[in-house]
Structure 1
Amino acid sequence: MRQIVLDTETTGLDPASGDRVIEVAAIELFNFVPTGGTFHKVIDPERDVPEESTRVHGFTAEMLRGKPRFADIVDEMLAFLGEAEIVAHNAPFDFGFLDAELVRCGRPKLDRARMVDSLDIAKRRYPGLPNSLDALCRRLGVDNSMRTSHNALLDVKLLAEVFLQLMGGKQPGLDLAATPLRRTGPALVEEAAAVARTPRPILPTEAELAAHAEFVEKKLKEALWLQSPFAAPPAASAEASG
């Protein structure tokens, strides 16, 4: 199963009022294991950045001027997303902003069936407790000491760790069947098929079978696996039947 953990930063809280996406970051998971595949773009919103937003994520309009526009990165972003599920914390917020940008570019909105809201998962697991990304990092033992401001690339890395913990604590390296995969989309599926292992049964030689039979006969007394529960009892002697 391929999933994308995603985060965005924006100029404000409402795309309907003209707020825009200024950063998109995403990490690829395959069967709940990070593959190393990432997507990250800082974007020129083609508008001002309010001071209150700058205090949250640290970006100013001057810092973003001259960066690619969303229309410049949309094809690469959609190719990375593919048809995978998209995991985000308070996912309706990120989907709402991405949908607004996609419509502005003449593209269809993201299918809501692909949306996985890690905030909703956390609320169901920890009802009544704070479930912000910082609160979950503290509760689940994820180191967020470097998070001094909202940054999509850092946040998505933390969210990926939190999401794995929420889904059962599966970590890279603990799945013995997993193979590090670095490709994305169809290439990832092809690579996964290429590394599938062919079973190699261990078949003993005739000499090994003979040695085993000799060991059982000489060293083991009445080996249970050689005794059939359906075996007929030994025939009575002539003297006993006489």
Structure 2
Amino acid sequence: MRQVVLDTETTGLNPRTGDRVIEVGCVELIDRKLTGNNFHVYINPERDSDPRALEIHGLTTEFLSDKPKFADIAASLSEYVQGAELIIHNASFDMGFLDAEYAKLKLSSFTSQVLNVVDTLATAKEMHPGKRNSLDALCDRYGISNAHRQLHGALLDSELLADVYLAMSRGQNSFVIDEEDHSSNANNSDAAHEQPLATILVQAANEEELAAHQQSLVGLDKAVRGTCVWNS
């Protein structure tokens, strides 16, 4: 199965007010293994970033000024994700921005080009209700080092999210094996019940052992001044 872990950086929080995508980073998983076939591009949004967004990603207008526009990378992004299952943290945010970019170009929605979308934020909230489930919090929870992450970056965040996703979903690929083992164990259990039961042996205490037991009870009774429950 082909999966693509995706993240974006944007000029702000709302595509409806003119905010744009400025970075897309993707890493590929095939059968739950990283392939190294990544997709990463910076994009000229033709506008400045909101100051609060700039503090998060650090991608200045000057840095992005000579980068391709979204129209220049849309086809290659579509080709990369075609038919894949996407894994995104807070998927509605990234998918909303990407769908808005494709709509500006009068292209089929980005959502329509992928097989399915897994939102790891929603999954984490189900698995860890009432706890912090940001990417940084999940890295801490699953022992994934993000010490090199000073600013948000789409490719770096995708690489971290891939590790988080694999840790969160560890064991799912053994469900079929477990079912087979359960079936096998059930058959073995049925076969065992068809065998005759062994004779059950009862070993009774002798007089010396009974006397020692009684002496122990007397000692306990004296220690609590005759209030033991077995004598009530």
Q: TM-score, normalised by structure 1?
A: 0.68
**Counterpart residue number, 1:5:** 5
Any gaps of 5 or more consecutive residues in structure 1? 171-242
Give the distance between the partners of 2:103 and 2:159, measured in 1 at CA: 28
> Residue 165 of structure 2 is aligned with which of 160, 163, 171?
163
Give the distance between the partners of 2:99 and 2:138, measured in 1 at CA: 27
Q: Identity across aligned pairs (percent)?
A: 49
Alpha-carbon shift at residue 83 of structure 1 (Å)? 0.7
Alpha-carbon shift at residue 50 of structure 1 (Å)? 2.0
> Residue 152 of structure 1 is aligned with which of 135, 151, 154?
154
Say which structure is richer in helix. 2
Aligned ranges 1:97-112 → 2 under 5 Å = 97-109=97-109, 110-111=111-112
The alignment yields a C-alpha RMSD, in angstroms, of 1.6
Q: CA deviation digits over 1:116-155, x for unaligned, max 9?
A: 1011111111111100000000000000001111111111
Give the distance between the partners of 1:75 and 1:148, measured in 2 at CA: 31
Return closer, same or farther for 1:49/1:18 CA change in 2, 3 Å cut-off: same
Q: Size of the alignment, in residue pairs?
A: 171
Give the distance between the partners of 2:123 and 2:89, measured in 1 at CA: 9
Alpha-carbon shift at residue 7 of structure 1 (Å)? 0.1
Once superposed, which parts of structure 1, at least 4 consecutive aligned residues long, lie more than 2 Å away?
none
Alpha-carbon shift at residue 169 of structure 1 (Å)? 6.5
- Asked if 1:46 corresponds to 2:46, the answer is yes
Return closer, same or farther for 1:77/1:30 CA change in 2, 3 Å cut-off: same
**Counterpart residue number, 1:127:** 129
SS in 1 for 2:9: strand
**Counterpart residue number, 1:210:** none
Give the distance between the partners of 2:146 and 2:19, measured in 1 at CA: 28
Give the distance between the partners of 1:133 and 1:169, measured in 2 at CA: 21
